[in-house]
Chain A
C-alpha cells in the first residue's frame, strides 16, 4: 500500500502532464476496443450459426437458384432430419438507405429449423395462416415502428414490382447473438405471383437449409447431398451454416485485416505518447534517483519505481477506457446498426485492453529505466545544481 501511495504521489506531482497522459491512454483504449468490437461484429453471424444446420446452394454462385424439385431427393438422403427452403428477395423499403435482409421462406418447416426465433403461438398461427403475412424481428419493428396488422410495401429489385405484406408475427431472439432484424414472408406468395407473371422463374429456390440428425456426420451428409446433384442442371454446394457465413466474411477479408492492423497502430501511437511522458519525467528526476542510490537503493528498486509509475498511469487510463467502451459501442452501434446484427463488447476485448495497457506501461518505461539504472551517482547529483 505504501508503494502504491508513493507511486500515486509521484505520478501526480505533475497533475497536468499526468492527466493528459491518462487521457490519451483512455482514448486509445476506447479506440482499440471499438475497433475490435467492430471486427467481432462482422463475425457475429458466424457465431450465431448452428453446428447441426447445413446450407445447400447453387455451386456456381449465390445468384443462381436451385429447382424446387430437389426437395424430393434431399428428403431421401440418409442423415437429413428436416429441411426447409428460402429465396433472397432483396426488396427495398421506401428507399435504399433502409437496408435489412428480407427473404421468402417455406414458413412451416423453416420456423421449426430455427428454434432461436421465438414467436408467440397466436402470432405464429396468424403468420402461417395468412399467405400475405410477414414476420419480423423485434429490432426491425422497433426501428420502423411497425405494429401487428400494418401493411408494409417492398419494392422488388430481383422480382420487380411493389409487393404488399401484412405484419402478423414479431419474433425475438433466444440468444444474445441472434439476429433480430430479419424480415421473412411466404415463399408460396412469391411463387404464385411468379407463375402468373414470369413462369420461367417460378418453382426455384435460393437455398435449402437442412438439419442433420447427428452433427458429427454433418460433413458426410453435405458430401452426400452434393454428390446427388453432381452433373445435373444445377450442381449444389453444401456446407455448414457457419462455413457459409465465414465465406462471406472472407470476401471482405482485406478490410478486416486492415482494421485489425489499424487497431495495433493505435497502440503504437499511445506507446509513443506514454514513453515520451515517462522519459520526460525520468529526465527531470534523474537527480533524485542519484540520491536514492547514495542512500543505498539498488538499481532494481529504482527500476521498480519507474515501471510501477508507468504501469499505474496506463492502468488508470485503461480503467477509464474500459468503462467508457460499452456506452461508446452503443452509440457507434446506432450509427452503423443496419450493417451488423449485434454490436456487443466481448470479454476478449476487455482482456486485450488490459494486456495492451500493460504492454504500453512496460514499453514506455524501458528507456527511462535503463537510463536511471545506469546513471552514476556523481553525474546524477551534478544535474540537480
Chain B
C-alpha cells in the first residue's frame, strides 16, 4: 500500500512557482512536438486526399512531375484507346489530357511571389476529381480566355478572386469561378481550358493523361501494356501514389527537422524536471525518513516521487497540447522542394497526436524523476531523520 496521489498533488501545489516553471518547460517541448506531428499529418492528409486510388496518371518516363513531363498528341491518342478506362455518364471515356505549367504570381499583401500551378483541363477533368467542387461562378467556356481558381489561390494571390483578371502568356484571363478542393493540393491550382492555355504558352505537347479505371484492380495490366509499348515513352502511376511521391522529400525533411528539434528540447526540459525533483527530495528528506520509520517501504517512496514527476509531466503535456490545438487556426503555404510549386496545408490535430503528446510528456517526467526518486528511496532512515 502506498501514499495517496493527493500527497503528490499537494506537494506540487505547495511549490507553485517551481511547478509552473518546470511544467512550462515541458509544455513548450510538447507544443513543438505536437506542432511538428500536426504539420506532418496536415501534409499527409493533403496528399492522401489529393488523387484517387482509382485514377491513373500517365507522364513521360523519367519525369518527376507533370511540369517536367511531355506527352505528345499521338501518344495521348494511343493512351485514350486503353480498354481499362471507365466510361462516363455521357458515354465518353473518363479521360483527360492535361497540360501543367508553373507561373509566378504575386501574393496579396506582400511583395513576395510564388510559383502557382496552371492546369489546362479537359471536359472530364472535373469529373475525374470528385474531391473538387465548384463553389462560385461557373466552368470556363472552351475557346475563351477564362480560368477558375482554387480557393487557396483566390485567398492568397493578387487578382485571382472571382471576376478579376490575371495576365499571363500575353493574354488577360478572367476568373469566372472558384473551386474548393478541400484539403487537397488542387486547392493551390488555377484551371483553364487546355487548348487555350497550350496556345498561350506555345506548347504542343500535353503534360499528362489522366483516366479513371473501370475496375481498380485493372491497374497492373494497363500499366504493363502502356509501359512496354514501343511507341510510348511513358510511365503510369496511381494518382494518389503519384502525388504522395511528389512530397516525399518535403515530408522527410519536416520529419528529420522535427525529430531533431524535439529530442534536443526534451533534454532541456528533462533536466529541468530533474532539478526540480532533486530539490523536492532534498527538501523533504525529513518526511521521507518519517514515512520509512512509519513502515512505508522503499518502493512506496520510489513510487510516490515518480508519480509526482509524472504528474508534473502530465500538467506540462496538457498545457502544451492545449496551446498546440490553437495552431489549427493557421494555414501554412510554402514551396514544395520537389515540384517547385506552391503547397498549402494546415495543422491537423488527431487523437493519435494527443496520445503521443501525453505519452511523451509522461516519458519526460519519468526520465527526469527516476534518478531523484531512486535517491529518495535509498536514503538511510536514521540519516534522513537527523536532517530535520
Direct contact of A and B (CB under 8 A): yes
Greatest chain A CB density within 10 A among B67, B113, B272 is at: B272
Residues of A within 8 A of B350 (CB): none
Residues of A within 8 A of B13 (CB): none
Q: Does B125 contact A (CB under 8 A)?
A: no
Greatest chain B CB density within 10 A among A21, A60, A268 is at: A60
Q: Which of B32, B64, B272 contacts A262 (CB 8 A)?
A: B32
Residues of A within 8 A of B278 (CB): 16-17, 20
In the bound complex, do residue A157 and residue B103 qualify as a contact, i.e. CB atoms below 8 Å apart? no
Residues of A within 8 A of B53 (CB): none
Known: A23-B271, A268-B28. A60 touches B168 (CB 8 A): yes
In residues 292-348 of chain A, which contact B (Cβ within 8 Å)?
A: 335-336, 339
In residues 50-69 of chain B, which contact A (Cβ within 8 Å)?
A: 60-64, 67-68
In the bound complex, do residue B272 and residue A24 qualify as a contact, i.e. CB atoms below 8 Å apart? yes
Q: Pick the interface stretch among B136-144, B292-300, B330-338.
A: B330-338
In residues 257-282 of chain A, which contact B (Cβ within 8 Å)?
A: 258-259, 262, 265-266, 268-270, 272-273, 275-277, 279-280
In the bound complex, do residue A276 and residue B22 qualify as a contact, i.e. CB atoms below 8 Å apart? yes
In the bound complex, do residue B279 and residue A280 qualify as a contact, i.e. CB atoms below 8 Å apart? yes
Q: Does B285 contact A (CB under 8 A)?
A: no
Chain A positions 173 through 210: 1 when the CB is less than 8 Å from some CB of chain B, otherwise 0: 00000000000000000000000000010000000000
B155 to chain A, nearest CB (A): 15
Known: A24-B268, A27-B271, A247-B113. A272 touches B24 (CB 8 A): yes
Q: Does A367 contact B (CB under 8 A)?
A: yes
By beta carbon, the residue of chain B nearest A28 is: B268
Residues of A within 8 A of B24 (CB): 269, 272
Residues of B within 8 A of A272 (CB): 21-22, 24-25, 28, 272
| Main DSSP-derived SS at the A contact region | helix
In the bound complex, do residue A61 and residue B115 qualify as a contact, i.e. CB atoms below 8 Å apart? yes
Chain B positions 234 through 257: 1 when the CB is less than 8 Å from some CB of chain A, otherwise 0: 000000000000000000010011
Chain B positions 107 through 120: 1 when the CB is less than 8 Å from some CB of chain A, otherwise 0: 00000111100000
In the bound complex, do residue B265 and residue A269 qualify as a contact, i.e. CB atoms below 8 Å apart? yes
In the bound complex, do residue B68 and residue A276 qualify as a contact, i.e. CB atoms below 8 Å apart? no
In the bound complex, do residue A24 and residue B271 qualify as a contact, i.e. CB atoms below 8 Å apart? yes
Q: Does A254 contact B (CB under 8 A)?
A: yes
Q: Which of B103, B113, B202, B268 contacts A273 (CB 8 A)?
A: B268
By beta carbon, the residue of chain A nearest B280 is: A280
Q: Which of B64, B253, B267 contacts A157 (CB 8 A)?
A: B64
Residues of A within 8 A of B334 (CB): 251-255
A324 to B67, CA, bound (A): 44
In the bound complex, do residue B261 and residue A31 qualify as a contact, i.e. CB atoms below 8 Å apart? yes
Known: A31-B261, A252-B335. A273 touches B275 (CB 8 A): yes
Q: Does A104 contact B (CB under 8 A)?
A: no
Greatest chain B CB density within 10 A among A21, A24, A279 is at: A24
A254 to B333, CA, bound (A): 7
Residues of A within 8 A of B256 (CB): 335-336
A62 to B275, CA, bound (A): 54
By beta carbon, the residue of chain A nearest B113 is: A247
Q: Does B328 contact A (CB under 8 A)?
A: no
By beta carbon, the residue of chain B nearest A16 is: B278
Chain B positions 267 through 288: 1 when the CB is less than 8 Å from some CB of chain A, otherwise 0: 1110110111011000000000
In the bound complex, do residue B335 and residue A279 qualify as a contact, i.e. CB atoms below 8 Å apart? no
Known: A252-B335, A269-B269. A277 touches B104 (CB 8 A): no
B75 to chain A, nearest CB (A): 13
In the bound complex, do residue A60 and residue B169 qualify as a contact, i.e. CB atoms below 8 Å apart? yes
A344 to chain B, nearest CB (A): 19
In residues 282-329 of chain B, which contact A (Cβ within 8 Å)?
A: none
A231 to B18, CA, bound (A): 69
In the bound complex, do residue B274 and residue A20 qualify as a contact, i.e. CB atoms below 8 Å apart? yes
Q: Which of A160, A258, A339, A367 contacts B233 (CB 8 A)?
A: A160
A352 to B342, CA, bound (A): 33
Q: Does A114 contact B (CB under 8 A)?
A: no
Q: Which of B32, B233, B337 contacts A265 (CB 8 A)?
A: B32
Q: Does A235 contact B (CB under 8 A)?
A: yes
Greatest chain A CB density within 10 A among B24, B169, B269, B279 is at: B279
Q: Which of A27, A96, A252 contacts B268 (CB 8 A)?
A: A27
B107 to chain A, nearest CB (A): 9
Q: Does A64 contact B (CB under 8 A)?
A: yes
A186 to chain B, nearest CB (A): 22
A13 to B218, CA, bound (A): 75
In the bound complex, do residue A250 and residue B112 qualify as a contact, i.e. CB atoms below 8 Å apart? yes
Residues of A within 8 A of B68 (CB): 63, 90, 157-158
A188 to chain B, nearest CB (A): 22
Q: Which of A253, A336, A339, A367 contacts B112 (CB 8 A)?
A: A253
A265 to B18, CA, bound (A): 19
A250 to chain B, nearest CB (A): 4
Q: Does B157 contact A (CB under 8 A)?
A: no
Residues of A within 8 A of B1 (CB): none
Chain B positions 323 through 359: 1 when the CB is less than 8 Å from some CB of chain A, otherwise 0: 0000000001111010010100000000000000000
Q: Does B264 contact A (CB under 8 A)?
A: yes
In the bound complex, do residue B112 and residue A280 qualify as a contact, i.e. CB atoms below 8 Å apart? no
A336 to B337, CA, bound (A): 14
In the bound complex, do residue B21 and residue A279 qualify as a contact, i.e. CB atoms below 8 Å apart? yes
In the bound complex, do residue B21 and residue A275 qualify as a contact, i.e. CB atoms below 8 Å apart? yes
By beta carbon, the residue of chain B nearest A259 is: B257
Q: Does B123 contact A (CB under 8 A)?
A: no
Q: Does A149 contact B (CB under 8 A)?
A: no
Greatest chain A CB density within 10 A among B61, B170, B333 is at: B170
Q: Does B11 contact A (CB under 8 A)?
A: no
A279 to B265, CA, bound (A): 22
By beta carbon, the residue of chain B nearest A273 is: B272
A254 to B113, CA, bound (A): 13
**Chain B interfacial positions (CB closer than 8 Å to A):** 17-18, 21-22, 24-25, 28-29, 31-32, 60-64, 67-68, 101-104, 112-115, 168-170, 201-202, 204, 233, 253, 256-257, 261, 264-265, 267-269, 271-272, 274-276, 278-279, 332-335, 337, 340, 342
CB-based closest 9 A-B pairs: A251-B335, A273-B272, A24-B271, A276-B21, A272-B25, A250-B112, A61-B102, A254-B334, A31-B264
Other 16 A-B pairs with CB < 8 A, given A60-B201, A275-B21: A16-B278, A60-B104, A61-B104, A157-B63, A160-B233, A200-B204, A231-B170, A235-B170, A250-B112, A251-B112, A251-B114, A255-B334, A265-B32, A272-B24, A276-B17, A276-B276
Subset of 10 A-B contacts with CB under 8 Å: A16-B278, A20-B271, A31-B264, A60-B101, A61-B104, A62-B340, A63-B340, A268-B28, A272-B21, A276-B17
